[in-house]
Amino acid sequence: MPTNSNGNDSRRAALEGVRVIEIGTFISGPFAATLLADFGAEVLKLELPEGGDPMRTLGAYPPDGDSSYWWAAMGRNKRSVALDVRTPEGRDVLGRLLEKADVLVENFRPGTLDRWGITLEWMKQRRPDLIVARISGYGQDGPWRDMPGFDRNAQAFAGLVHVTGEPDMPPQQCGLPVCDFTAGLWSAFGIVVALMGKSRHGPSDGNEIDLALYEAIIPFLKDMPQRWRHQGRVTERTGNTPDYVAPGGAYRTGSGDWIFISGTGNRVFERLLTAVGRPDIAAAEQFQHNRDRVAHRPVLDAAINEWLGTRTTDEAIAALQAADVPAVKINSIADVMAHPQVAARGNFVEVPDHDRGDVCMPAPVPRMAQFGPTVRWTGQNLGESTREVLQAELSLDEAQLAELRSRGVIHY
């Protein structure tokens, strides 16, 4: 039975009837396909017969398990077809599957599919209006086209790592693969835009989406490009203290916990300083504008720290929230998953799995009144749907399947 955290009618899937072929590994391309599958697209995940997607090996494993818990979430709602598309026979099977597909998602280094004979022209011969989404380290053109790239490289290349961490410490990567996941999100958005464009404006000769991993972060760089271009200023690391607003950042309570407080805007600033017993600072002329508050940040932080030092975490957060000041504990994953707000929103779901019992995973987002996402099943075993798909879609009989299997072209 579908698991639907949003409470809407799981039979109404916005992308039902959209057929996607995913030839991807690890995170970015597969995550794009996962998002489409969550909203009802039929996704065929093509994996090499020997080992499949290396994503199966990442992260924690269940006892005696063959693949990770992470795979159960990343592979959800997809049908695994173990097919070696590098072989002539495998490429022929792919070509026949493409005739009924709307979208192909891949995230190999540029030129990889071409070397296997799977060129854009070859794909378009089989499906002229095919939408092809490509994610790679640095994009399909440019002088760095052929450079290898993973999430950490993309974070560093795009400028994210340079501004992350404490000023007197080495630059710090983000603790999560944000470029990979965000690239998947941008690609899924591009695919839906392409599908909508085709639906509204009629048949086309297809579309190609070209996204570099580092480009996933470029739109998030706030005013850093303008500071450099127009003022010659390079944005540097400021740790947990934002450089564009004050007061705000990470502060320690009397309990020893860290909390994050935002004092953005004149009204919130006034409420914050009043809550910590310093309305005089809020009223002072030198703190009436944000630029002046940034310049005198130490005075503001000293007042906040003095007040926090005599209060427990619960007392501090309760007082600040009562004053309508944004303040939260900096949560560990244990804190996040135990929080009543997260429980009320259904942000994590338990999904029955064929050999892991119930597997916990993040619920699909966003919530929608209609056509919301569902988790229908967890990541399949390698090649679990090979026989079913090739029989139903291509009418291959048992003898043909056995021949392909004996030659290592397919696995089931």
Catalytic site positions: 180
Sign of the CA dihedral with 176 first, then 179, 182, and 183 last: negative
Q: Whole-angstrom Cα distance, residue 217 to residue 173?
A: 13
Cα–Cα nearest to 180, from 195, 194, 160? 160
Contact 109, 146 (CB under 8 A): yes
Residue 238 sits at the vertex; the CA angle it makes with 161 and 299, to the nearest 5 degrees, is 170
SS percent in the chain: helix, strand, coil, step 5: 40, 15, 45
Supply the DSSP string of 104-151, one letter for each residue.
Answer: EEE-SPTTHHHHTT--HHHHHHH-TT-EEEEEESS-SSSTTTT----H
Runs of H (alpha helix) within 1-102: 28-38, 69-74, 88-98
Burial (0-12, 13-18, 19+ Cβ within 10 Å), 109:
middle
The residue to which tokens 């974070």 are assigned? 155
Q: Whole-angstrom Cα distance, residue 112 to residue 103?
A: 18
Q: Whole-angstrom Cα distance, residue 68 to residue 61?
A: 4
Q: Whole-angstrom Cα distance, residue 383 to residue 47?
A: 8
Sequence-separated (6 or more) residues with CB below 8 Å from residue 58: 26, 68, 70, 71
